Structure 1
Amino acid sequence: MPRKHVRQAVRNKTGVDSVSWQQRVQRLLLKVAVACGCLAALFGTFVMGSHLIDLRVEQLVLGGAVEHVAVTELEAQLAPTLQASFLTLDLDDVREQLERMPWVYRAGVRRRWPNTVVIEIEEQRPIARWGLDGFLNHEGEYFPGAFADRWSELARLEGPAGSERNMTRRYQSLEALLEPTGLQVVALHEDSLGQVGAELHNGVLLQLGADNHRERIGRFVTLWREQLTEQPVMRVDMRYEHGAAVALLPTSQWALGDVPAANWQETP
């Protein structure tokens, strides 16, 4: 057994001696070259990464059909946020800021290499004015905005704070129910007691009270089509259970309803 160990040792020593010093140098140079290449790649990646991180947003591009939002307004709104680098810019934050602007209903934001931010804007669609300083969109959401002549035909809605959605639904329902008469709503308001009244395009004031609006509007439509179309009506009060009080312009006042005359009531 000892002899076998000796022979094995001799064979291994002989195998090591068979590698020339030139081959050893070549292997060493190869390892050095590989190490240098790795270091160069890491350094290049670091330099490139630093360069990319330092890239700034140089341009805003506004897309979509917009009338009320200008690039200058967007730049002013986003100026602090755009101080971030092109790659680290928080697109969700930019979108949220844009959607807080008065005329912006929905916004989309994306990067375009190497230094441009593209913004797609969907503007608000006002269906009514709210009070004296803003509008309601198609979902009944309030947004501020300056009135202009182009919005003069929009109905004016007013109500307690937080009633915007309810007033929008009420307005849309009233418009639909009045369609057979050809009458249109130019103003709709609700007071602090929940009493609802409307002004129609022909100057008629329609009082609906606090409840049973659909039933009362239905009675008004019937009354208008059957008896009031040709009359100089000033005001119609539908807050009676079975009848209505009608005031005519300018001198006569009288009451009409679908119940006997004894139940009709005269307006003051």
Structure 2
Amino acid sequence: MSWSDKRRHWQQKLLQLDWYLWLGLVFLFAVLLGLIAAGRQLHSVLNDADKLPIEAVAIKGERLYTSDREIQQALQSLMQRSFFSADVTQVQQTLEALPWVYSASVRREWPAKLKVYLQEQQPIAHWNGDAWLNVQGEVFQAAAPPGLEKLPLLAGPDDMGSEVLTTYQLLESLLKINGFELASLSLSPRHAWHAMLDNGILLDLGREDNMARVQRFIDVYPILAKQSKAIATVDLRYDTGLAVGWDDAQQESR
């Protein structure tokens, strides 16, 4: 084969390769366009609440204070989204913003349901008059439902809720086994403790040695109870001994 024949042969090969290359590029471009179109269509379907609406929200967990209506109102705008576009994190945060909800977990369940597990606040005491303290010692705000009137009254700085609760539980246990009921306990901004018994006696405990000082009151109470006057306050801030304030008004009314 002459040189000119070889050159023509290779030119034909290159021309053929060029056609293959262009055909391949055209095919690849068509595939890409198809994928883009399909992706847009899928995105439209997944985000179209009319095509994939959320049909139900299943709520689990014991609820005493949070009604179905409150949950429905809280989630009303979020339920306008499709099953896939609904933000479960936002649903969770919205539910946890309800006053009596402590925590919420949310997950999707195919084909059109959200499953929600709620854990409500467990109030253990009134806090500062208009708030609540939960079993974790955390302060929360919520309207007062019926049935919680007999909870103890605790008070103090909001960041000391856990310490106030722990101290209350210790003192309440000590007093109860000795025949007393602790109705309220407060911690002042200067960290001084004041305890009110259900019989109306106020114990001034000071800043330290709460248990020892309450025990001192318990030991002395049988002697104090024999007096003709009613006890109003007992100041236990001394290293030894105590000071008693008598309820003269109550004595006069007898």
TM-score, reference length from structure 2? 0.74
Q: Which residue number in structure 2 is paired with residue 95 of structure 1?
A: 92
> CA separation of 1:191/1:37 partners in 2, compared to 1, >3 Å: closer, same or farther?
closer
Q: Contact conserved, 2:75 with 2:91, CA < 8 A, in 1? A: yes
Q: Which residue number in structure 2 is paired with residue 54 of structure 1?
A: 48
**Equivalent AA in structure 2 for residue 222 of structure 1:** D
SS of residue paired to 2:242: strand
Q: Which residue number in structure 2 is paired with residue 118 of structure 1?
A: 115
Q: Which residue number in structure 2 is paired with residue 63 of structure 1?
A: 60
Aligned residues: percent identity?
Answer: 32
Q: Which runs of 5+ in 2 are unaligned?
A: 2-29
Distance in structure 1 (CA, Å) of the matches to 2:190 and 2:31 = 81
| Bigger relative contact order, structure 1 or 2 (CA pairs below 8 A, ≥6 apart) | 2
Judge which range, 86-95 or 72-81, deviates more: 72-81
- State the 4+ residue runs in structure 1 displaced beyond 3 angstroms: 36-49, 79-84, 226-233, 247-252
**Equivalent AA in structure 2 for residue 142 of structure 1:** V
TM-score, reference length from structure 1? 0.70
Distance in structure 2 (CA, Å) of the matches to 1:149 and 1:248 = 36
1:234 to 225, 231, 234: 231
Q: Contact conserved, 1:157 with 1:188, CA < 8 A, in 2? A: yes
Q: Contact conserved, 1:135 with 1:144, CA < 8 A, in 2? A: yes
SS of residue paired to 1:88: coil
Q: Which runs of 5+ in 1 are unaligned?
A: 4-35, 253-268
Q: Does 1:72 align with 2:69?
A: yes
Q: Which residue number in structure 1 is paired with residue 170 of structure 2?
A: 173
How far apart are residue 234 of structure 1 and its match? 2.2
Q: Does 1:135 align with 2:121?
A: no
SS of residue paired to 1:50: helix
Distance in structure 2 (CA, Å) of the matches to 1:180 and 1:149 = 29
SS of residue paired to 2:165: helix
Q: Which residue number in structure 2 is paired with residue 207 of structure 1?
A: 204
Q: Does 1:243 align with 2:241?
A: yes
How far apart are residue 229 of structure 1 and its match? 5.8
How far apart are residue 200 of structure 1 and its match? 0.8
Judge which range, 204-213 or 231-240, deviates more: 231-240
Question: What is the alpha-carbon root mean square deviation over aligned residues?
Answer: 3.8
Aligned length: 239
Q: Which residue number in structure 1 is paired with residue 105 of structure 2?
A: 108
Q: Which residue number in structure 2 is paired with residue 217 of structure 1?
A: 214
**Equivalent AA in structure 2 for residue 238 of structure 1:** L
Q: Contact conserved, 1:126 with 1:135, CA < 8 A, in 2? A: yes
**Equivalent AA in structure 1 for residue 48 of structure 2:** D
Q: Deviations along 1:95-153, whole A, 9 cap, x unmatched?
A: 12222221111111111222222211111111100123221001111111223441111
Q: Contact conserved, 1:109 with 1:118, CA < 8 A, in 2? A: yes
Q: Deviations along 1:81-103, whole A, 9 cap, x unmatched?
A: 44443212222222122222211
